[in-house]
A and B are shown apart, each in its own frame.
Chain A
Amino acid sequence: MKQQQFEDHHQQQWQIFADDLQALEQGRPDEARIMAFPAAYRRICQHLALARTRGYSRALIEQLQYLAMNGHRQLYRQRSPLPVKILLFLSVGLPQLIRAEYRVVLTAGLLFYGSLLGMLLLVQVQPDLVYSMLSPTQVAQLETMYDPDSSRLGRFGERTAVTDWMMFGYYIMNNISIAFQTFAAGLLFGLGSLFFLIYNGLTIGSMAGHLGNIGYQQPFWSFVIGHSAFELTAIVLSGAAGLKLGWALIAPGRRRRSAALRLAASQGVRLVTGALLLLLIAAFIEAYWSSMTFTAPIIKYLVGCLLWLLVGIYLLRAGKDVHAAA
């Protein structure tokens, strides 16, 4: 068949397919014709193959290839509603993934909590060490933040209730950025994540140690215990995700480095997404619960312990008997 005949014969179909494609791309598909789309797409593929083997001209091949490429993209698009996906991921996918990746999560946890506790103890012994992590102005700020006499605690101590929303915004921006950085820096052979995990551990440890030294334990611990369950877990998760990237580059195993990296990144990014969701919860608790002083500290400790317990159970048990992968 000569090219001109071929074109005349099929031109109308191609035009209809192109119109359907445009409707799909704009998200307004014609419901009546949508069922015929896969068949139409396969026909386009066949025409493209025919055009290539018969040696038809490049313009025609490019036209068919354009249709096939965009058809392919529409046909293989994943469409599951995002909220359902997130819920499924939080309740099943994430805890399963964390347990499957327990080695890297434990490593990150040891690095982070190890440096945190180590620094906390060191500062008790050698109080001046706090100045190796924080500048004197930062230390002074810290002291006003957790002053037992102030009516509100935390990074926005002297503000009024209107600013809860602002604090929420600040925590989201600050903490999630740190989590993202910790993950991304793992691409530098894991060194970046290592740095952020240890650095954050040392900073938090020195803060806690210093506040303990000057007798501010009560306001500090009652403030942090609530949201820390989510926040610290999220830091560990994002660090673990970063370490995974680095490890894939250092020891790719039986894969090529590029393939190992892609695999590690696909799991790592799910861990980071988990960290992001946990940090959203943490920001909410920090802004609306931790900073309140109208409750007795004992209630805060109780609620905080309960939250830690919840996170622990979640990590160890959630989604244990569910086999559907999210």
Chain B
Amino acid sequence: MDWAIEVRDLTKKFDRYTAVDRLSFKVPAGKIFGFLGPNGSGKSTTIRMLCGIMRPTSGAGTVTGHDITADPEKIKQNIGYMSQKFSLYEDLTVEENLSFFGGIYGLKKQELAQRLEEVLETALLGTKRKALAGILSGGWKQRLALGCAIIHRPQLLILDEPTAGVDPVSRRVFWDILRELASLGFTILVTTHYMDEAEQCDLVAIMYQGVLEGFGSPAELKQEWQVNSLENVFIAMVERHRSLSEEVKV
């Protein structure tokens, strides 16, 4: 099996506070992997370690086959990252943004021109290729940010809350694109607070207070918790924690 992400006992401590506690999981290539958990559960810290921009306190991991502590620069070349802030250059056009990031990832002239056309098509950006990024609406900005993240054909796409603050129609269009990318062989790690999006993932991990509480396909998780939706898995999990902490108090 070809693993896109593989982590063992990944831990990150800030002083006394443990943000991520002995995280272990494996994600096979070509899957959409949903990374869930309430705010502050350690998702972003985990993502930073996976991207190679934060060193874990202990534990190990490989992303696209490269060690996260030894080879962070190789990881950066093989992943595409998109944050919820859609960090684009607003005074550059759609095309200019795409070719800038293509250039940063080392694409040569001819390859870049070819990839540019492919991405404009995949991310449905063709009609506004000459428009400044700053005047685009939320959904378009989101797709442009995605386009910038896939311009260099990364093996793994890491999307941190890509649909936060975007209207429902744009969200659906966006997920259609994600599924198409997965069918083309991209592995996608996506964090979200929308459970309807989580249901569409091949594989889901749920984090709570820095600990991995659940891992599996949405169907497996629902069966394990004896509920009919991922939302209820999520709620059941939070409630179990609450009752556990109350028992401790008593």
Partners in one complex: no
